[in-house]
Structure 1
């Protein structure tokens, strides 16, 4: 017969259960306690403030324009014999573009040459008569009036030679207009006339257009109010001039990409448009590859001045409201406080902050949902935490470890009850 287990009182079982629970609570799976007996402070992403000279960049709408435009027009009347260029190609100054029938102008040149020869013959005759009369008048063989008439005839013949030569030069110039050359270097468009077309000097028939597209001009407008504020800030010393060679300009295309070569501001117009209240500005941008074309709509990013002791903050770090722009500042003890700042504009995806923060301060960028009134936080460099931005950096094993004591506690009563039943 099996030996009977000794009888265990109920209060002894209860004491044993309490001891088991206490031992489990001290195991390795228990959550760590903070310095104050609670959970550790949550991690928030921060950036450390570093001040310096920051460019004040404005983004303005503009249109591209060729730096030089030449309308090639007919200066001679006649039939176009041949086009000597390829449409849409680059041409150089002086390159032959069109040939116009030179026949009528060649005849005018020949006639002018004949007139020159005739005038030269008349001058030679008058000059010989003057030389023959000169010794005769000295010997009183002829009257002085006859000699004076010979001198006048010589000068008249000399003037006729000069006039004939001028007419010949004019005829040669007109004949030269029958070969139409490029006045500037650049890119030529389509031909506006074809072979066999009659062009007229009187109507100045347009033949083609040449545009110089390297460099290009950008015409853009800015509010007169912004221009006035900028000049006032420069005079008061709140802003610095961008540079001695003019403000730098970047061209943003319609697809959002930036032109690789930066440009420079040439001038700002002195007159404000009465209808729009805008001031027109012009910049020059290199275009060696010919990517930009005249007439294109672009966005101009212009750095007109620099702000001293300014800084850049990610836009998600700033809360904007009609009452003011604010940020959350974290001190060395992890305490969070709200700070009002002064914004001077946007640059890329960041705000240019002109005042309200000092160098070395830490500004929150993410983790705002973790803030609790009066509770400290643990600042970490923005983007350096292991978890996604805005989420708590809690180890993945924490939920399982926290669940372990509960499982042990749940199994302890069952084990004690089983022993009691056997007893």
Structure 2
């Protein structure tokens, strides 16, 4: 059995060892001067970069060309020469109207032309003969004038007959209704045996050119003014003469082929305060169809030497100002008010309040308050989701700072 003095010595030794184990080494930066563990937070070091500025605008897909097919002559439709919903080339035959009456009219016009042409040689010879005889006073001046007029009339009748032949030929050609443009056809509004009239209001079918195809998008006049002012001031540089455009489809998928901005309307809508922009896209697979809703991602320009701060690092104070937590070179936390220009993906484009080399806290901001020290661990942010890649270990994230006195 141990004596009382021995037990006391053992207790004193154990207490001394416990104190020795709690005291941090002189070079351990994970504890403060009082020996309390410092919280570890995720940080991102800010560097200036060229930021591509884009705007996501709503729009509708529009066919690059649209033609409404109507008959130009009257008659009975004998055949439909195309498959509904198929692609047709420019000039392809679509419908055949009964051509018999127009062929007869053409033949009649040709015969009338031949008759008119046959009268010209006789009138020509008579006029030339009278011209020599009038000089000899063998015929009167009046007879000579009549022969000249008869020749002119014969030639005019030939010209009239030629015009009638051309009109008859055109009408005969119109009995075969052809595609004015190349593209995809709609359904046919009639079947063979139907009677059509020239210039009727009812359409036979519609043809739409789908490759290339247009996307009409709208932009507010305010954003347009801000964009132009940014370009004029040098804050935004336009990259090249052609503005690149990407397309986000109705189901959220990105259209695989890039387009470019074609033009901008020269007027602002008085009812909506918006300007219409038109982008053109290749559409070889006919994936884009007229009437589809889409969102166009328009590349507005490049902002040089700019700073991006992850959105997860920025909060709002009671005044509504954007603030973020930073660690200085000594690891002491602080807050700053930031001037936010706009969002770029999952980041904020900052106009003022940051500088190169700043370490912004993106994870664990709830563990530090201004004036407290913390350990900063560099992390990587996924630009597509805004999430932290390679999170801190759970036991370190669970660390808590010591309470302020």
The TM-score with structure 1 as length reference comes to: 0.84
Match of 2:225 among 221, 225, 228: 228
Q: Which moved more, 1:18-27 or 1:123-132?
A: 18-27
The answer to whether 1:184 aligns with 2:170 is no
Name 1:393's counterpart in structure 2: 396
1:247-262 superposed matches below 5 A: 247-262=243-258
Q: Which has the larger radius of gyration?
A: 1
The answer to whether 1:107 aligns with 2:104 is yes
Name 1:14's counterpart in structure 2: 8
Structure 2 CA distance for aligned equivalents of residues 118 and 386 of structure 1: 93
Name 2:286's counterpart in structure 1: 290
- Say if 2:379 and 2:391, in contact at 8 Å, map to a contact too: no
1:222–1:390 distance in 2 versus 1, CA, 3 Å? farther
Name 2:401's counterpart in structure 1: none
- How far has the Cα of 1:35 moved from its partner? 5.8
Residue aligned with 1:333, SS: coil
- How far has the Cα of 1:128 moved from its partner? 2.2
Match of 1:350 among 335, 347, 352: 347
Residue aligned with 2:331, SS: coil
1:386–1:180 distance in 2 versus 1, CA, 3 Å? closer
Residue aligned with 1:300, SS: strand
1:211–1:387 distance in 2 versus 1, CA, 3 Å? closer
Structure 1 CA distance for aligned equivalents of residues 265 and 223 of structure 2: 14
Unpaired runs of 5+ residues, structure 2, are 382-387, 399-405
- How far has the Cα of 1:164 moved from its partner? 0.2
Cα deviation 1:6-38 (Å, max 9, x = unaligned) = xx64233222222244346657x9987636252
Structure 1 CA distance for aligned equivalents of residues 304 and 193 of structure 2: 67
Name 2:277's counterpart in structure 1: 281
- Say if 2:244 and 2:298, in contact at 8 Å, map to a contact too: yes
1:345–1:20 distance in 2 versus 1, CA, 3 Å? closer
Structure 1 CA distance for aligned equivalents of residues 267 and 133 of structure 2: 77
1:262–1:389 distance in 2 versus 1, CA, 3 Å? farther
The answer to whether 1:313 aligns with 2:316 is no
Q: Which moved more, 1:80-89 or 1:265-274?
A: 265-274
1:170-249 superposed matches below 5 A: 170-203=167-200, 205-240=202-237, 242-249=238-245
Structure 2 CA distance for aligned equivalents of residues 196 and 387 of structure 1: 73
1:139–1:373 distance in 2 versus 1, CA, 3 Å? closer
1:151–1:394 distance in 2 versus 1, CA, 3 Å? closer
Name 2:402's counterpart in structure 1: none
1:406-417 superposed matches below 5 A: none
Structure 2 CA distance for aligned equivalents of residues 294 and 254 of structure 1: 13
Two-structure CA RMSD over aligned residues (Å): 2.6
Residue aligned with 2:265, SS: strand
Unpaired runs of 5+ residues, structure 1, are 396-423
- Say if 2:216 and 2:277, in contact at 8 Å, map to a contact too: yes
- How far has the Cα of 1:269 moved from its partner? 2.0
1:96-175 superposed matches below 5 A: 96-175=93-172
Residue aligned with 1:232, SS: helix
Q: Which moved more, 1:354-363 or 1:146-155?
A: 354-363
- Say if 1:81 and 1:101, in contact at 8 Å, map to a contact too: yes
Structure 1 CA distance for aligned equivalents of residues 49 and 331 of structure 2: 26
Structure 1 CA distance for aligned equivalents of residues 369 and 199 of structure 2: 86
- Say if 2:333 and 2:370, in contact at 8 Å, map to a contact too: no
- How far has the Cα of 1:218 moved from its partner? 1.6
Structure 1 CA distance for aligned equivalents of residues 264 and 373 of structure 2: 53
The answer to whether 1:79 aligns with 2:76 is yes
